[in-house]
Structure 1
């Protein structure tokens, strides 16, 4: 099988890759490397991850260019992605020794403690929308904890995946610590079934997550899933409307709307609806969709033609069901200009798909209570954002929002210091924060008696 990386801006094939015929040998290499890596001191692990951070910073311009060519995000956004990876690597190196040490327990025993110990190979099935960030936010703490990683990236970003593997080697890691598997989905079951694979993680669609979770259950492997989202962005009557409008547009349209935690549903109380609508409309109309290498472009094309066609189809479906186009976006190939839809509460509730593109939906609510109810009317539960200048009341209302992360007067974003993940159809388990270390470790208890 041949995989192709296609530039979504012009449809040109920029790289081709043949499927790994020897992917099983890579697993065995990972197994041999793990035997050494798990016994490598934390100081050496930290040194190598810091080497990786230095390389990411030094080569961010060329790495960003490769991302932009392969999946279409602006060069500015791609550069920021690489920078975020380097920052995250440094953060984990600062806390690794403390977080991975022994935890003493005072109980009946002469001595008692527990440790987080590595288990082996972890399979990571990752998406194309953030080719480096999605892979490295998982891999960095997992490798620091002593595990080894096998990455099965999305086929349309195999160029970035191949480069990423080379960066680990350049940083001083031996070959089996971080490996890239150029395989199709038909090979996933045999990989999951392998005795050395101790866990699987996936960021992607609900369909892919359900499929991988089924395999993980079949072979009794730990799994972590970060799936889709339909994040609410709730604007209350006492919100700073200018700030809310700015971040609503930024959250929804960055990366051409291809972000799991984008503000996909703008829920606005009637009292400030017109003011909010006027401000976001003004800001949306100033956005420029175009060449990702043009510094004036706010976002580039979506990553693949089939994805662009799907988004266009979803817009048409919603309009047929009663949604009103307030800003009418158009499609030319993979490039979609922004669309703004007004929809009813009932339509929002019944539409269970994720809109993964530059499309914002605005829904009105009579009051705060109804706004919170609408926010929770979703099968997803990744993130939620609420806007109010009453910080005490706003913090109280955050408790009523059903999501893995809730933000007051801020857009939802992932950060190395905080656990990240969802509930319901948005998945389970956590990445980032200290949980980035722990999800694939054996929490091993030690009891010593005289």
Structure 2
């Protein structure tokens, strides 16, 4: 070739199906890279946050985006397949449950359209024996209780090597017990109700079944309407709902590991793969274990979180594809090869 290169062109309209738990951030996490790449966006938000969706569309209008570049659709899930089938929709991105992700992936596959899925999680929070326990507990509280535990990337399984198990559990339980529950509209409230009554009931069912299978209720366990008390379970093992399932609320599962190798093995015993945290004072040694983790993120001495500068996404039943940063932008572009023959 006299000339050859690769162009990165927008693919067109991308449909975003977004959840209620972070109704603004989740949308901007999709929209910023996707629109920057030159695409247009359609938003189908969760029905309990349609008001947020209207405000988001207004933000793009006020920012000077051309009319129609970002549009909010007030529709329900029974209309999604029809929208995906439309010729103008070139790709779909969804953040939500496993069930919703499977349904959308099926529709996208039926119409041969690209999809990105960010689904549930059951993140492990591993604490080694050399960790600063006080700092680890402080990070762990935020990692589990942020947004009342209603987060796919929340730490849910606290895997503790046996040398520090008792110390960590005691300090963590005491810290959870001090959290202030109340009206989320009032300053100082740290734990409020869950988004729906059925979510609180499901979490309480997971607690009760785990206790029946041998877990120890160390704190909480009560549920009243949409409220579920911050709860700590000790002695959690594989085979219990608190270990095997995503727990979408203020429930922390304490899991004993024989050593570091056993901790990583327990971490991998999950159908999900969003992220893992390791707490230690030996950062280099922690980094040497990064290849042992199959999740999409590996954080040392920090809770797993999304950062606009870094790609975000999971593996296994947590979905596929990446959001944010360059990787997020590249998900919805046409990598076009341009070739000019030699004369």
Coarse TM-score class (shorter-chain normalised): over 0.9
Tell me which residue corresponds to 2:51: 159
Counterpart in 2 of 1:296? 188
Q: Counterpart in 2 of 1:416?
A: 308
The 3-state SS of whatever aligns with 1:341 is strand
Aligned to 2:67: 175
Q: Which runs of 5+ in 1 are unaligned?
A: 1-108
Contact 1:386–1:398 (8 Å) recurs in 2: no
3-state SS in 2 of match to 1:142 = helix
| Matching residue within 297, 302, 326 for 2:218 | 326
Shift of 1:348: 4.8
Counterpart contact for 2:180–2:189, Cα < 8 Å: yes
The alignment's C-alpha RMSD in Å is: 1.4
Partner SS state of residue 399, structure 1? helix
SS in 2 for 1:234: strand
2:7 aligns to what SS in structure 1? strand
Equivalent residues of 2:123, 2:154 under 8 A apart: yes
1:320-367 CA-partner distances (Å, limit 9, x unpaired): 222211112322322222000123433358953210101000100111
User: Taking CA–CA contacts closer than 8 Å with sequence separation of 6 or more, which of the two structures ends up with the larger relative contact order?
Assistant: 2
> Does the 8 Å contact 2:311/2:327 carry over to 1?
yes
Verify: 1:352 aligned to 2:270, yes or no.
no
Partner residue in 1 for 2:82:
190
Residue 110 and residue 349 in structure 1: after superposition, are their counterparts in 2 closer, same or farther (change >3 A)? farther
1:402 and 2:280 are equivalent in the alignment: no
Deviation larger for 374-383 or 392-401: 392-401
1:151, distance to aligned residue in structure 2 (A)? 0.5
From 241, 261, 282, the counterpart of 1:390: 282
The CA distance in 2 between the partners of 1:349 and 1:443, in whole Å, is: 43
Higher share in helix: 1
* Residue 270 of structure 2 corresponds to residue 378 of structure 1: yes
* 1:401 positional shift: 1.5
Secondary structure of the structure 2 residue equivalent to 1:316: helix
**TM-score by structure 1 length?**
0.74
Distance 1:312-1:348 versus aligned 2 partners, 3 A rule: closer
Counterpart in the other structure of 1:316: 208
1:435 is aligned to 327
- 8 Å CA contact retained: 1:202, 1:225: yes
1:337 pairs with one of 221, 229, 240: 229
Is residue 349–residue 378 contact of structure 1 (8 Å, CA) maintained in 2? no
Alpha-carbon distance between aligned partners in 2 of 1:301 and 1:423, rounded to the nearest angstrom: 30
Q: 1:398: how far off?
A: 2.2
Q: C-alpha separation between the residues in 1 aligned to 2:295 and 2:281?
A: 21
Runs of 4+ in 1 over 2 A off after TM superposition: 329-333, 343-353
SS in 2 for 1:173: coil
Q: Is structure 2 residue 27 aligned with structure 1 residue 132?
A: no
Counterpart CA distance in 2 for 1:173 and 1:260 is 31
Separation of aligned partners in 1, 2:235 and 2:332: 42
Matched-pair contact (CA < 8 Å) for 2:209–2:240: no
Q: 1:142–1:437: 8 Å Cα contact kept in structure 2?
A: yes
The correspondence for 1:257, drawn from 146, 149, 172, is 149
1:17 paired residue number: none
> Which of 155, 178, 198 matches 1:286?
178
**Structure 1 position 364 matched with structure 2 position 252:** no
TM-score of the two chains, using structure 2 as the length reference: 0.97
> Which residues of structure 2 form unaligned runs of 5+?
none
CA deviations on 1:161-199 (whole Å, 9 max, x unpaired) are: 111112211222233111111111110110000001000
The aligned counterpart of 2:165 is: 273
Instruction: Find the aligned partners of 2:241 and 2:272 in 1 and give their Cα distance.
Output: 11
CA contact (8 A) 1:289 1:335 kept: no
- Counterparts of 1:345 and 1:321, CA distance in 2: 9
1-structure distance, mates of 2:250, 2:181: 10
